[in-house]
């Protein structure tokens, strides 16, 4: 394994006392957060800019990282084309073998330069397989990154309102389509907005705690986002009011958990979460299986769903909830990411179902 010239020794310490030692890339600063792993083989620019990773130190299990550099900030519809938000959200990056040479048509620089510019520390040269096995056996743990001669304390990001940190502060509007969608921004990925816009919509993106009930709209979308869903008290309160109506609702990831809580169900923290591009789910009541992109550490308790609700998808690996739907009204959600980016797009048809629900609602078929 090659090392950067004058690379600074750095250590990753876990709350159970385990220490991993490697070399620094990116910015040589301390950082603390929750250590999690992602088993995807590609898509690190999308992962680093995914707001759902807020407060987390990310370990990538694919051994070679950095080979296609970091993308630039080209934009379309006021959204960066190759990013999932306007900034990096991880607290640190852990890789086995950092690629010093990069080559990609969209690259604007190296991964090292991108992290350094954004004040994010990275570690390479450690056994990420051993680290991942430990996290699977003991569960996600708090960790801290400390270059030689620097120290910091552990910090649990799940005690923070991370959604408040990543959500927009003022309402934004995109597109001029015939269907008006209110999107609750709990840390939305740009590809969700892109998927809505290409389906003839106008998207009204509102802050996580915004009272949107005075707005005129045809559908409500609840986005992905970081942290414990129970922190979003104002969001849950607004969704409760929405579920009393018939206007179509679609939630993704954290949006699934918030819909669950608003409907009276419970949520809980998974041992080490689902973070990858190869999570298999089954659509309930069918034999249809889909490979999905996922990034979450909490889940809805299937046994706590009310009589008017039922699971929509189930995870094949551990039987956890992967979505829910109302038995009579046009409300549904998924725990996985139909918009992918990165990952497979097998389930992007769910956006079409949402739009179809809106069309039916406009025709009075849900009133």
Contacts 24+ apart (CB under 8 A), 109-114: 109/69, 109/70, 110/66, 110/69, 110/70, 111/25, 111/26, 111/44, 111/65, 111/66, 111/69, 111/70, 112/4, 112/25, 112/26, 112/66, 113/70, 114/48, 114/69, 114/70, 114/88
Q: What whole-number distance in Å separates Cα of residue 288 and Cα of residue 265?
A: 26
- Catalytic annotation, residues: 253, 337, 339
Longest dimension (CA), the chain: 68
For tokens 């409300």, the residue is: 331
Residue 81 has pLDDT above 80, yes or no: yes
Residue 119 has pLDDT above 60, yes or no: yes
Peptide bond into 202 cis (omega under 30): no
Mean pLDDT of 252-281: 98
What number does CATH give the domain 162-362?
3.40.50.880
Q: Which tens digits make up the pLDDT trace of 142-157?
A: 999 999 999 999 999 9
Query: pLDDT averaged over the chain?
Result: 96
Mean pLDDT of 80-103: 96
Q: What whole-number distance in Å separates Cα of residue 249 and Cα of residue 239?
A: 9
User: What percent of the chain has pLDDT above 90?
Assistant: 97
Q: Which tens digits make up the pLDDT trace of 200-231?
A: 999 999 999 999 999 999 999 999 999 999 99
Q: What whole-number distance in Å separates Cα of residue 80 and Cα of residue 16?
A: 39
Q: Which tens digits make up the pLDDT trace of 11-32?
A: 999 999 999 999 999 999 999 9
Residue 310 has pLDDT above 80, yes or no: yes
Give residue 3's pLDDT: 57
| Other Cβ atoms closer than 10 A to 151 | 9
Mean pLDDT of 188-211: 98
Domain ranges of the chain: 9-159, 162-362
CA distances from 262 to 159, 177, 225, 270, 306 (A): 21, 29, 16, 20, 11
Mean pLDDT of 105-119: 96
Give residue 365's pLDDT: 80
| Other Cβ atoms closer than 10 A to 298 | 20
Give the pLDDT band of residue 2 (cuts 50, 70, 90). low
Give CA 307 to chain center in angstroms. 29
List helix spans (H) across the chain: 44-48, 111-117, 128-138, 162-166, 190-197, 233-242, 254-262, 349-362
Residue 266 has pLDDT above 90, yes or no: yes
Burial class (CB in 10 A: 0-12, 13-18, 19+), 209: middle
Residue 69 has pLDDT above 80, yes or no: yes
DSSP of 41-69: SS-HHHHHT-GGGTTEEEEE-SSEE-TT-
Mean pLDDT of 74-88: 96
Q: What whole-number distance in Å separates Cα of residue 30 and Cα of residue 153?
A: 9
Q: Which tens digits make up the pLDDT trace of 331-359?
A: 999 999 999 999 999 999 999 999 999 99
Class of the CATH domain delimited by 9-159: alpha beta
Give residue 276's pLDDT: 96
Give the pLDDT band of residue 4 (cuts 50, 70, 90). low
Q: What whole-number distance in Å separates Cα of residue 25 and Cα of residue 10?
A: 9
What six digits make up the tokens of 185? 């921004």
Contact 355, 338 (CB under 8 A): no
């Amino acid at each position: 394994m090659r090392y950067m010239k004058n690379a600074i020794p750095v250590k990753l310490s876990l709350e159970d006392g385990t220490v991993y030692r490697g070399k620094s890339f990116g910015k040589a600063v301390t950082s603390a957060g929750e250590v999690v792993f992602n088993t995807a083989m590609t898509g690190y620019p999308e992962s680093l800019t995914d707001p759902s990773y807020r407060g987390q130190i990310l370990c990538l299990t694919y051994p070679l990282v950095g080979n296609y550099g970091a993308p630039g900030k080209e934009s379309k519809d006021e959204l960066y084309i190759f990013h999932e938000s306007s900034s990096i959200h991880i607290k640190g990056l852990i890789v086995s073998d950092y690629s010093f040479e990069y080559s990609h048509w969209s690259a604007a620089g190296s991964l090292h330069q991108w992290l350094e510019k954004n004040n994010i520390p990275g570690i390479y040269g450690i056994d990420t397989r051993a680290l991942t096995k430990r996290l699977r056996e003991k569960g996600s743990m708090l960790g801290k990154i400390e270059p030689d001669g620097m120290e910091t304390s552990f910090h649990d990001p799940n005690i923070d309102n991370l959604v408040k940190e990543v959500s927009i502060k003022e309402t934004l509007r995109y597109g001029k389509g015939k269907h008006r969608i209110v999107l609750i921004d709990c840390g939305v990925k740009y590809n969700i907005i892109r998927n809505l816009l290409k389906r003839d919509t106008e998207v009204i993106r509102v802050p996580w705690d915004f009272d949107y009930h005075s707005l005129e709209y045809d559908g409500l979308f609840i986005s992905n986002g970081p942290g414990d869903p129970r922190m979003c008290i104002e969001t849950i309160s607004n969704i409760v009011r929405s579920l009393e109506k018939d206007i179509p609702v679609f939630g993704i990831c954290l949006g699934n958990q918030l819909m669950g809580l608003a409907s009276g169900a419970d949520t809980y923290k998974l041992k080490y979460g689902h973070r990858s591009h190869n999570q298999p789910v089954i659509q309930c009541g069918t034999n249809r299986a889909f490979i999905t992109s996922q990034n979450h550490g909490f889940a809805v308790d299937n046994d706590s769903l009310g009589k008017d609700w039922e699971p929509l998808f189930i995870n094949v690996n551990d039987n956890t909830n992967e979505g829910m739907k109302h038995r009579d009204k046009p409300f549904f959600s998924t725990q996985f990411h139909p918009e992918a980016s990165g990952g497979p797009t097998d389930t992007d048809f769910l956006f079409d179902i949402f739009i179809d629900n809106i069309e039916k609602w406009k025709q009075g078929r849900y009133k």
